[in-house]
Structure 1
Amino acid sequence: MKNKLLKPLLYLMTIALPFFVVGQAYAQNVAWDYTDIAYGTDDPARQFLNIYLADTVDPAPVYFFSHPNGKTAYDVSQGFADTLYEEGYTLISWESVPNLGQPEEVLTAWSDAQLAFDWVRANADTYNIDPDRIVIAGRSRGSVASWPLAHSGDAAIQGIYVYNALPNPVWAQPEEWSPVDNVNTDSPPIYMAYGPTPGDGDSHAPENAYPIRDAYISFGIGDTFTTYDSMQADGFSNANYYFPEFLASIATPGLPADMVDNFDGGNTTYSWSENGTWYISGGTYNQDDNTGNTSAYAGNSAWTNYTFKADMVTINSANPSTGWMASSLAFRVTDTDNLYFVRLHNNGDLRLFSIVDGTNSLITSVPTAYAPTTWHTYTIVVSGNSIKISINEEMLIDVTDTDHGAGYIGVRANQNSVSVDNVAVTQPSGC
């Protein structure tokens, strides 16, 4: 490699800083489970990584993150990490040369990226992570440090999620190196999100995503490229804002639903992502807090047509006279603001709701003789636009709706405590 290679990166500190940061409070750093783990032997002050574990039973996929110039592997905000945690991802933030300037520093970062990646895969069992489900992620400098690895064609790399990527100085001498050169037919799906707005003169120009888009198109993989910009103008406060959508984009379309959890240690595949304190006791899944809203979700965002069956009981509520203070089952969940849920109210009404962008709407309400404070078996069958819901094998709701086409399953509690058992998700007949 010529000595002048990547010469423009000499100016990453002087030109591209300060790096654009959208609402990230780095002072409130993540509470790491492990820090300063050596992944190489050349320089322990440089070759280390930090780990924030997902709360999963099964091995968790990995968000393999590289920080921007002016920061370190420690400098990740809790809000940034929580988005990953809620999606069941373990965060690994790896260190190398903290600031990329000289060509040899870039080469070292590229080499370290591969070493850290290999270490993660080799030590997967120790940290309960899935060595074959890794998202390569980076912010500004971090996108440069991990770029060749991201496009290496390794089958374990499921996708690329980068923020304020490939700043202006990177493109100053394309005859020496251009990020486009690494794009190939095996490049994984990619999301490129930007804080600035196109044309506003920020060195983290959203326009820097366009050559990558064109390269993806030229290799016939343009449908796996996505970019967003103007996050600052839109008021978004988390660089991982689009991460749940990104995960949905890399999931296998039409993935067959196949989950069983009797909460006796026999969960077949999927772990639960929880909001609130949930625990397993006596072979049931429980939460006891009736002061707020809690939820737990599991499964796969690509599930489309499935039968979701579960036993559920509302233990108590903050106010039993208030009908909606009862537990509910959620399905076709994209995120907490986009889903269906069905709830047996305290007056016996079984109500089906849709939430779109955080706004609830009632689809239908059916009076029943059932009480939520008794164990019942709920069966939800979704196929195309059809939604059928039964309690104890009595068909009560049979409607069509188009709000949500795929997503996870879950349990929700609104100011009530709840117990759940015998969760099963399978393909419905004929699908």
Structure 2
Amino acid sequence: MPDPNRNTALAQLGGTPHRRYYTGRNLKRAVAIEDLRAMAHRRTPRFVLEYLEGGAEDEATLLRERTSYADWRFVPRQLVDVSERSLTAEILGKPASAPMIVAPTGLNGLFRPGGDIALAAAAAHAGVPFVQSTMSNDRMEDVACAPGLHHWWQLYVFGGDEIWQELLRRADAAGCEALVLTTNAQIFGNREWSARTQSSKTSPSIPTLAETLLHPPWCARALRYGVLPSFRNVVDFVPKGSRSFFECAFWIRDHQPTSLSWDTVAKIRAAWRKPFVLKGVLHPDDVRWALDAGVDAITLSSHGGRQLDWTVAGLDVLPAAREIVGDRAEIYVSGGVRRGTDMLKALALGADAVMAGRAPLYGLCAEGRAGVERALEILRDEALDAMGLLGASSISEIGRDLLAPAAPR
């Protein structure tokens, strides 16, 4: 967790006043995403935190996702009437209260039982889309019941074609408005720190189990709802002898084809007639291929720094991607969003929206649905305030002229 004093040397004398993040239970006192993160760390076992927080290998990509935003500084306008400000956006033809999407994340039942339902309900309350993962723990039909939800389905391809075809059929029947195909997870990233919490692929280590007991509320919830969650949308595709939590996850990983190609994209595009989003693109040539494949949107993403280490961040390639795409498709940036100002920087560099993954999950770990609502509220309020300070009343006024590269260190 970042040192809260890292940027505040000029505001302190001899280390005073001492500063720390809030870790109590009053969500209104969580004034930044880092407070929710601190609350999550206090309440959550280490093995769950390693899954949530960790990246691949040296975690250089994970770090780059955050530092890429620090490479840009605002150039605000003054004496502009900003008494009326709005973040209202249109995402894939649907209205949204902000240019933000709750990103697809798997295993949310580890954080809270019913985690996917909580995320979806909070997203609906906030008026932004929610993308449900193939590796989610709540049935898509149950998630779809959230009133006012803009429900998208994220697809991992595994096993035979009949599996993704059935998942698409169910997603369509459940009213999902868009399909998000993840392209960069066919080989599982080398997430060393998460692996160190296990004695084998399917068993936590004894120290991990002992540390988990230091979190009685988490343990009580886990015991009440069955210890570890099930992958309820895909478990029926897995052999009966491999349906426990860890075994199911590894069976699916082992059956994701490394032959995934643009031919696969074409087959899925032909089978899905609603908006189609390709997630995981970083190379300019792949942006061009995605346009040729007829996608409606592209998500620039390193998979949260959890796949190939030492890659660029989505924000790094955003300006070039926008130049290639023009107005032919929407572009989203995923990874590292912790501030409302991150959202505005992405918009200024050409994004139509950002996908927030870990930020709402910190809220989920901290206080369930209410914590997610608080996370989305914080991002929205920060962005609205920053818009006013920038001299912008609407997202259409957030352009490249409001940014300058940070001075070299």
TM-score by length of 2: 0.31
Higher strand share: 1
Higher relative contact order (CA 8 A, sep 6+): 2
Higher helix share: 2
Which structure has the larger Rg?
A: 1
